[in-house]
């Protein structure tokens, strides 16, 4: 069984379209969407495309901190839940979603388990098995991570949240970050994960200039910034490792 794990799409519809083309070539049987489909510049269109794909392919969803923030905004409990610079974005996304889409996001679980031939029991979560906001990277010391993964009860844990791919061991558990489809840190393009007999950290190039133009033409509050800083010229892995080092789990 081939499983494609797509994390942190963030409403980047052109990136998702490109990855879905690669998934078809890989003959993926299950698509795992690992949270943070939103916020982003094309939230409704991105959700609609994933639901359209789900008509012919098994698609599973889990909720990320992005969905949690949008749902908190909708319910009126979101004051202070996200930093000030992101509140306008979260508010805008909440206003775009239809009631049906809001209900869809609310129905997603925080984690899911899937038995993958060749890998065993795989736990899919957004950030860590303990929460959807905790930060760690390939550089985080194992001592800090053992308490987070000790109760995972899985041979493999797949996560995202920090938008950088890696494949490492924590105790006896293989922990894999699928990277980000819509906002990768490092080289431009779209990152995702292919699971089957083995593990492949995949990267899909796409037309960045055309994608930036499509994003510019949306009403997203920070469309130009998103296109420039997350599509055309994303921050380097070195830069983000330094940022996350100061915020990682203690």
Asked whether residue 250 is domain-assigned, the answer is no
pLDDT of residue 1: 82
Asked whether residue 204 is domain-assigned, the answer is yes
CA distance 52 to 58: 11
CA distance 190 to 179: 8
- Name the pairing type of β-strands 111-116 and 58-61: unpaired
Q: By residue range, what is the domain housing residue 48? A: 3-245
Asked whether residue 157 is domain-assigned, the answer is yes
- Cβ-based burial of 6 (10 A; exposed 0-12, middle 13-18, buried ≥19): buried
- 227-239 tens-digit pLDDT: 999 999 999 999 9
CA distance 129 to 168: 16
Rounded to two decimals, the pTM is 0.96
Which regions of the chain are under pLDDT 70?
A: 78-80
Asked whether residue 73 is domain-assigned, the answer is yes
Both tokens assigned to 217: 């033409």
Asked whether residue 177 is domain-assigned, the answer is yes
Asked whether residue 122 is domain-assigned, the answer is yes
| Nearest partner of 75 among 103, 45, 53, 49, judged by Cα | 103
Q: Structural domain tally of the chain?
A: 1
For residue 35, give the CATH number of its domain: 3.60.21.10
Both tokens assigned to 186: 């490092």
Asked whether residue 210 is domain-assigned, the answer is yes
Asked whether residue 131 is domain-assigned, the answer is yes
E-assigned strand segments in 80-170: 111-116, 120-125, 156-159, 166-170
């Amino acid at each position: 069984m081939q499983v494609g794990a797509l994390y942190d799409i963030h409403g980047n519809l052109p990136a998702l379209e490109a990855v879905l083309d690669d998934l078809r070539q890989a003959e993926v049987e299950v698509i795992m969407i690992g949270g943070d489909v939103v916020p982003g510049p094309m939230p409704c269109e991105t959700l609609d495309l994933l639901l359209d794909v789900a008509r012919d392919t098994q698609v599973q969803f889990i909720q990320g901190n992005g969905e949690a923030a949008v749902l908190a905004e909708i319910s009126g409990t979101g004051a202070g839940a996200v930093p000030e610079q992101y509140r306008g974005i979260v508010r805008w996304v909440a206003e775009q979603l239809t009631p049906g889409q809001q209900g869809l996001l609310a129905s997603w679980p925080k984690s899911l388990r899937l038995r993958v031939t060749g890998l065993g029991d795989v736990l899919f979560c957004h950030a860590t098995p303990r929460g959807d906001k905790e930060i760690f990277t390939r550089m985080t010391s194992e001592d800090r991570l053992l308490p987070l993964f000790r109760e995972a009860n899985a041979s493999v844990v797949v996560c995202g949240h920090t938008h950088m791919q890696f494949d490492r061991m924590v105790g006896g558990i293989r922990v894999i970050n699928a990277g980000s489809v819509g906002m990768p840190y490092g080289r431009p393009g779209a990152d995702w994960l292919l699971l089957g007999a083995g593990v492949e950290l995949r990267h899909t190039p796409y037309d960045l200039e055309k994608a930036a133009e499509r994003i510019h033409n949306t009403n997203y509050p920070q469309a130009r910034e998103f296109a420039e800083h997350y599509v055309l010229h994303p921050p380097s892995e070195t830069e983000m490792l330094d940022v996350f080092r100061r915020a990682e789990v203690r």
